Amino acid sequence: MTAPASTGGADARPAPGPRRRAAALLHRRPRLRLSLLLSAPLAWLVVVYLGALAAIFLTAFWTTDVFTGEVVRQFTLANFRTLLDEPVYRTVALRSLGVAVAVTLIDTAIGFPMALYMAKVARPRYRPYLLIAILAPLWAAYLVKAYAWRVMLQQGGLLDQVLEPFGLSSPGYGLTATVLVLAYLWLPYMILPVYTGLERLPDSLLDASGDLGARPLRTFRTVMLPLVFPSLVAGSIFTFSLSLGDYITVKIVGGRRQLLGNVVYDNIGAANNLPFAAAVATIPVVVMLGYLAAARRTGALREL
Amino acid sequence: MTFSPAARIALRVLMALGLAVIYVPLLVVLVNSVNADKTFGWPPPGFTGRWWAQALDNEGARQAVLTSVKAGLGATATALVLGTMAAFAVSRHRFFGRETVSLVVVLPIALPGIVTGIALSNAFQVVLKPLGIGLGLFTVIVGHATFCVVTIYNNVLARLRRTGTRLEEASADLGADTFQTFWYVTFPALRSALLAGGLLAFALSFDEIIVTTFTAGPGATTLPIWIFNNLFRPNQAPVVNVLAAALIVLSVIPIYLAQRLSSGARSPV
Provide the 3-class DSSP secondary structure of residue B137: helix
CB atoms within 10 A of CB B269: 14
How many other β-carbons are positioned within 10 Å of the β-carbon of residue A99?
A: 24
Which regions in chain B score pLDDT beneath 70? Answer: 1-2, 41-42, 262-269
d(CA A192, CA A118): 10
- DSSP string of A156-196? TSHHHHHHGGGT-----SSHHHHHHHHHHHHHHHHHHHHHH
Please report the pLDDT score of residue B12 as a whole number: 93
- Residue A6 confidence (pLDDT): 43
How many domains, in total, are found in chain A?
A: 1
- B193 sits in the region (left: phi over 0; alpha: psi -120 to 50; else beta) called alpha
To the question of pTM greater than 0.90 for the whole model, the response is no
pLDDT digits (tens, 9 = 90+) for A179-200: 999 999 999 999 999 998 998 8
pLDDT at B17: 94
Residues A253/A35, Cβ–Cβ less than 8 Å: no
Taking the C-alpha atoms of residue B36 and residue B41, their distance in angstroms, rounded to an integer, is 9
Whether the predicted pLDDT of A215 surpasses 60: yes
Closest B-chain CA to A241: B112
A99, part of any domain: yes
Q: What DSSP character marks residue B233?
A: -
> Domain range for residue A299?
90-303
Higher pLDDT, A158 or A59: A59
CATH number, domain of A232, equals 1.10.3720.10
Determine the residue among B15, B78, B200, B250 to mutate to test chain A binding: the one whose Cβ has the most chain A Cβ atoms within 10 Å: B15
Could you tell me if residue A81 is inside a domain? Answer: no
User: Percentage of residues in chain A with pLDDT exceeding 90?
Assistant: 28
> Has residue A31 been placed in a domain?
no
Residues of B in contact with A48 (CB under 8 A): 123, 142, 146
- What residue in A sits closest to B111 (Cα-Cα)? A285
pLDDT, chain A, mean: 85
In angstroms, the CA A253 to CA A244 distance is 16
Determine if residue A272 is left, alpha or beta; phi over 0 gives left, psi from -120 to 50 gives alpha, anything else beta. Answer: left
Whether residue A286 lies inside any domain: the answer is yes
Mutate to test the interface with B, among A32, A36, A48, A291 (most CBs of B within 10 A): A48
Full set of structural domains in chain B with CATH = 59-266 (1.10.3720.10)
Candidates B114, B231, B255; nearest CB to A247: B114
Q: How far apart are CA B204 and CA A138, in angstroms?
A: 10
Is A22 contained in some domain?
no
Query: Rounded to an integer, what distance in angstroms lies between the CA atom of residue A239 and that of residue A105?
Result: 9
B36, B48 Cβ separation under 8 angstroms: yes
Residues of B whose CB is below 8 A from A45: 82, 86, 104-105, 107-108, 146, 149
User: How many CA atoms lie within 13 Å of B22's alpha carbon, on the beta-carbon side?
Assistant: 26
ipTM above 0.85, yes or no: no
| A272 domain-assigned | yes
Q: What is the pLDDT of residue A229?
A: 92
Tell whether the model's pLDDT for residue A4 goes beyond 50. no
- B40 sits in the region (left: phi over 0; alpha: psi -120 to 50; else beta) called left
Cβ-based burial of A35 (10 A; exposed 0-12, middle 13-18, buried ≥19): middle
